Amino acid sequence: MSSRGPAQIADLHRFDCIIDARSPSEYALDHIPGAINCPSLDDEERRIVGTIYKQQGAFEARRVGGAMVAANLARHLRERFADMPATWRPLVYCWRGGLRSGSMVNWWRLVGWDAQQLAGGYKRWRQHVIAQIDAIAPQLDLRVVCGPTGSAKTRVLQALAAQGEQVLDLEGLACHKGSLLGALPGVEQPSQKAFETQLAVQLERLDLGRPVYVEAESRKIGRIALPTALIERMRAAVCLEIEASAAARLDYLLEDYAYLGDEPEQLASRFEMLRELHSRETIARWQDWARTRALRPLFDELSRLHYDPAYGRSQAAHFRRWAERRTVAADTLDAAGIAQVAQALRALG
């Protein structure tokens, strides 16, 4: 590829480096996978230029902004790209493929590098992500893994992947376990756009001729909304249910959510969200258990009084093939038991 015209999404793999010339906050919200952030303007500079544009007009904004861009590009040349060979071929993008990336491309070309600009910038990438999800999701041959809270569904997906099956781990992409207590300690959920970018990347890697295992989910995982095309495909898919005893599930929950005992007051506060569903006495009891780190009775009652009663109704309402689901019994949910469940699910086809 030698043309210096704007590059397309399909050309991404042909470059040595992908440079995101947007501000750090724009990059943090979402970016093309593998791109590095080398801002033409940082967040404060972008704010200043925007204010000047509104108050004094385009010329003054470009005069002030141009000096800032020049200083930033010079710094990038001295520091980040000081050792790049003459044959280095970077691709640069900004929001719409405009001045920020165009300025960088022009400078890099003056140096002698074969730099190119991404046509349409990040906006074009975003359109590509949405189009890929909408195109691929309806073609997936899904196997929806169901089971009440504590059935180790995520661990079963991991075991299926280890056994060579295709898996779509939506909770892993969303950095959330999908329940009231599903927030991961010290881990922020990605932005909606970043989640969808990673989802599109995962979908593009799948072999559409083979089954894909996915955990049963509602429309939202924490604050992340699942794309409609994927939700609709899941709702119409084959359901595979894990049947484990209440005792096995409780043991699993105590292991998998043990970290909740590290922040007892924070755990207690989460039950405020359930006041419309349970009595004041029940909420108070759960909060007392949370504050005293009594996780066994807490998880036991949460399962019996909150999660389990709604499970069957929810599955029947959301999954059109729930009545014809196939089940796999799980005697234990330790590592060996989870591996056996995965093998049994594979045998169901």
Q: pLDDT at residue 90 above 80?
A: yes
Q: pLDDT at residue 35 above 50?
A: yes
- Distance (Å, rounded) from C-alpha 326 to C-alpha 347? 11
Question: For 321-338, what is each residue's pLDDT tens digit?
Answer: 999 999 999 999 999 999
**List 17, 38, 94, 239, catalytic entry:** 94
Give the closest residue to 344 by CA, choosing from 156, 203, 128.
156
Determine the pLDDT at residue 70: 96
Task: Give the pLDDT mean for 152-173.
Answer: 97
**Hey, which bits of 160-294 come out as E strands?**
166-168, 211-215, 220-221, 224-225, 238-244
Question: For 40-52, what is each residue's pLDDT tens digit?
Answer: 999 999 999 999 9
Task: Give the pLDDT mean for 246-268.
Answer: 95
Determine the pLDDT at residue 329: 96
What residue type is 244 in one-letter code? Answer: A
Helices 43-56 and 58-78, axial angle in degrees (round to 10): 160
Tokens 């300690």, located at residue: 185
- Distance (Å, rounded) from C-alpha 268 to C-alpha 260? 10
Task: Give the pLDDT mean for 261-273.
Answer: 95
Determine the pLDDT at residue 349: 76
Q: pLDDT at residue 206 above 80?
A: yes
- Distance (Å, rounded) from C-alpha 138 to C-alpha 127? 18
Tokens 């909606």, located at residue: 192
Q: pLDDT at residue 2 above 70?
A: no
Question: For 96-126, what is each residue's pLDDT tens digit?
Answer: 989 999 999 999 999 999 999 999 999 999 9
Are 249 and 156 a contacting pair, CB within 8 Å? no
What residue type is 27 in one-letter code? Answer: Y
- Distance (Å, rounded) from C-alpha 227 to C-alpha 230? 6
- Distance (Å, rounded) from C-alpha 253 to C-alpha 241? 18
Q: How many CA atoms lie within 13 A of 285 on its CB side?
A: 13
Provide the pairing of β-strand 17-20 with 141-146: unpaired
Q: What is the DSSP letter of 232?
A: H
Are 241 and 326 a contacting pair, CB within 8 Å? yes
Number of Cβ within 10 Å of residue 198's Cβ equals 17
Provide the pairing of β-strand 224-225 with 220-221: antiparallel
- Distance (Å, rounded) from C-alpha 338 to C-alpha 325? 19
Q: pLDDT at residue 3 above 60?
A: no
Task: Give the pLDDT mean for 213-224.
Answer: 96
Percent of the chain exceeding pLDDT 90 equals: 93
Task: Give the pLDDT mean for 224-241.
Answer: 97
What are phi and psi for residue 333, nearest 5 degrees? -125, 35
Determine the pLDDT at residue 180: 86
Q: Is 94 annotated as catalytic?
A: yes
- The band of 1, judged by pLDDT with boundaries at 50, 70 and 90, is very low
Q: What is the largest CA-CA distance in the chain?
A: 73
Q: pLDDT at residue 344 above 80?
A: yes
Task: Give the pLDDT mean for 195-209.
Answer: 98
Give the closest residue to 30 by CA, choosing from 116, 130, 115.
130
Give the closest residue to 40 by CA, choosing from 112, 88, 99, 109.
99
- What is the Rg, in whole angstroms, of the alpha carbon atoms belonging to the chain? 25
Determine the pLDDT at residue 115: 97
- What average pLDDT does the chain have? 95
Are 242 and 236 a contacting pair, CB within 8 Å? no
Q: What is the pTM of this model?
A: 0.93
Are 16 and 178 a contacting pair, CB within 8 Å? no
Q: What is the DSSP letter of 261?
A: G
Q: pLDDT at residue 288 above 70?
A: yes
What residue type is 42 in one-letter code? Answer: D
Task: Give the pLDDT mean for 218-223.
Answer: 95
Q: What residues contact 216, with CB distance under 8 A and at least 6 apart?
A: 144, 145, 146, 147, 153, 234, 239, 315, 318, 319
Provide the pairing of β-strand 141-146 with 116-117: unpaired
